[in-house]
Amino acid sequence: MSITPIISKTPIPYTVFGGSQKARVHKYLFGLSIVVLHRSGRLNRDNALSELAGNRNFEIISIEGPEAAPEIEGLVKKYPDIRFILLHEKSSYGEKINLAIEEAQSKLVLVVWSDMHIPLSSLADRLIEKINDHDILCSVPILKTARHETVPSVQVPVRIKKQLKIVPWNPLRDGMKSIFPFDYVGVYNKEKYRFTGGFDPCITSPYWQKADFGFRSFLWNQEIQVNTSLYFHYRDALAPENQTPDEGYKLFYLKNMSVDFRNDRGHLSIRRFPSYMINSGVGWLRAFREFRQVQKWVIRHKYRYKEDAKSLIELWEPPE
């Protein structure tokens, strides 16, 4: 599915276990698929899967890392209606989501974590229909901490002294834009997700992987918006996210911040190279190879760009 990698990567090997069988009479078998990512141990996994199991209106997909291999048979027996995707090697969160959304048998895919409380009663049919009719790339929820405080989950891009800053903000209203889905959580439209190419597996930092996905999506005329009817909360305290610029940041910057939009297409000008070389932290030859790889990628996808990062940030509606 993914069109985003700058350098081709071998697909992650995986095996699918369990899951209820339904006769295929439509393109999509379910109104919603729920993908569960895991962290914080087995107790949270059991809590999340027990909470979601047994509801045949939704497809439940649990993404398991290679360390879960000895347990997979027991999990399938305990939760026969849940589809378990067992990865054979470690991968980034974005790669897991790419794989799960491709496997999902519905147009709408909700990505959540095992340390979150996901009341199925909040996912009413009317809400799912409304999200489907709204027809945007990703609808993100209101999130609460374990102490029931609102998480500043909306991500607002700004320029301060010519430097990009992504400022967290409280979700104030329905339809408020966020430059990326906080913690990867949201309801993704599978068809629009495929158009964007999903999360870039070449970027392993969760923060810059999400930033790359979000900026690319908006530059390619897709939107990520708050839906105040979606409401989840965390069972555990949230750990601070590492925002340190790394190798992934360089890819994010070249693919998004360095692309100009003119003549109805995206363009990564060679005039951007000297600045990149100075700040890349590598020798000029390696810097040039990195730059050229991204430049070729931009050329392949040049007509998907509908604006550049400068205009996106300048025209971003400020929070009230």
Separation CA 79–CA 36 (nearest Å): 14
Mark 187-198 as b/e (b = at least 16 C-beta within 10 Å). bbbbebbbbbbb
pLDDT band at 7 (very low <50, low <70, confident <90, very high): low
Whether 304 has a pLDDT exceeding 50, the answer reads yes
For residues 188-211, give the mean pLDDT.
Answer: 97
pLDDT at position 110 is 98
For residues 266-281, give the mean pLDDT.
Answer: 95
pLDDT band at 23 (very low <50, low <70, confident <90, very high): very low
pTM: 0.94
pLDDT band at 21 (very low <50, low <70, confident <90, very high): low
Binning the chain into helix, strand and coil, the percentages to the nearest 5 are 35, 25, 40
For residues 64-79, give the mean pLDDT.
Answer: 95
Whether 5 has a pLDDT exceeding 80, the answer reads no
